Amino acid sequence: MPLLANTAVLLGKELRTEFRSRELLMTTVIFILMVIVLFSFTFDPTSAESRRFGAGLLWLAFLFAASLMLQPCFLREQNNDTLSALRLAVSDPFAILLAKLAANTLFLLLTELLMLPVFAVLYNVPVLPVFGQLLLVFFLGSLGVSVAGTALSAISAQARMRELLLPLLLLPLLTPVLVASTQVTASLLDVAPFVQWKGVGFLAVFDIVFLTALWLFGEYLLEE
């Protein structure tokens, strides 16, 4: 299938360029680390306190870090007009978006997993017993952030005041993802952890709806 083959080739390119420059990963890791460390000094991170605030804090840090990560996603393609070269080469432009989306999700997930042990130690919250469930929430939340973020990054890259436009559009749009992810994560960090399936379902539906919209209208996002 040309779509999947092209997506795989483009994902390989995204990974190669990122692991060569480490621009996005370094920025997001440092940002999240700073937020987690700074907030650990602002209140006494007892276990009970952390269980109340931790999830919200973690997802706010992820969301702002994601907006930093998504900004250069399409801007990088404008430096040498490589987006035009990609559009000329692929048979289905959705492959370009799919590869960007997969790479963003992967980078975000990797950052989250790197930061989770730091969070667990600094905030005195045991995460190992619910690691599998947390991974599911992180994946669904990150996918939601990446789907909407990739689309908006493509739009804002061609606009004036692009640095301002992306967070302005992204943050309100992702509020439902932030709320649902925070609620599900909080339920997992509870003294008696449980999976809030309603929130998980909402995240899954959000991802599917936005992914479908991206598939239907993605071609127009890439046009000049």
Partner 1 sequence: MTAADPFQINSLQIDGAGIRFTNIEKRYGGLFALRRVSLDVAEGECVALAGRNGSGKTTLLRIAAKLVRPSSGEVQYTWQGDQDCATPRTGFVAHATMVYDELTAEENLLLFARLLGIDAPAVLVDRLLDEVGLAERRASLVRTFSRGMRQRVAIARALLQQPQILLLDEPSTGLDPEGVAWLANTLRKLHDAGCTLLMSLHGESPISALATRAVRLDSGAIVADARGAADIRGILAFAGA
Applying CB under 8 A, which residues contact partner 1?
2, 5-6, 9-10, 13, 16-17, 20-21, 79-82, 84-91, 223-224
Pairwise CA distance, residues 167 & 48, whole Å: 32
Pairwise CA distance, residues 95 & 113, whole Å: 27
DSSP symbols for 35-98: HHHHHHHHS---HHHHHHHHHHHHHHHHHHHHHHHHHHHHHGGGTTTHHHHHHHH-S-THHHHH
CB of 17 to partner 1, least distance (A): 4
CB of 93 to partner 1, least distance (A): 11
CB of 57 to partner 1, least distance (A): 34
Measured from the CB atom, the residue of 194 and 220 that comes closer to partner 1 is 220
CB of 131 to partner 1, least distance (A): 34
Measured from the CB atom, the residue of 2 and 126 that comes closer to partner 1 is 2
Measured from the CB atom, the residue of 46 and 82 that comes closer to partner 1 is 82
Measured from the CB atom, the residue of 73 and 116 that comes closer to partner 1 is 73
Residue pair 207/145 in contact (Cβ under 8 Å)? The answer is no
Pairwise CA distance, residues 203 & 176, whole Å: 9
